[in-house]
Amino acid sequence: MENHDKLFRMLGLAQRARKLTFGMDATLSAEKRGKLKAVILSSDISENAKRKIESNIDGEKIAISGTVSKDAFGELFKRMELGIIGIVDASFAKAIRENLR
């Protein structure tokens, strides 16, 4: 749980800095504009959504959270469920990806 706490704190900070996108459409839009630095997928994302992300975004940008569910991400950001989070800042992306390893 300690890793989740650190991850959640970093994601909360990135959200306050307005450096996150939420959901498929916003994340793919950020990629098309060339702003997307990383994508976090929840552990229970659907195979269809995962395939769509993988086909549209460079594999090096994709990080899968092995144990954080859509419900947990949704609760963190006060949404119903959240399976896809995009990061549009290189520094936040690097720190969050290191935390997921």
pTM (global) more than 0.85: yes
Are the CB atoms for 96 and 63 separated by under 8 Å? yes
Q: Tell me the per-residue pLDDT of 38-95, one tens digit each, with 9 for 90 and over.
A: 999 999 999 999 999 999 998 888 887 778 899 999 999 998 999 999 999 999 999 9
Residue ranges of domains in the chain? 2-100
Which is the CATH superfamily of the domain at 2-100?
A: Ribosomal protein L30/S12 (3.30.1330.30)
The pLDDT score that the predictor gives to residue 27 is: 95
What is the maximal distance between C-alpha atoms in the chain? 35
Q: Is the pLDDT of residue 3 over 70?
A: no
pLDDT(2) > 70: no
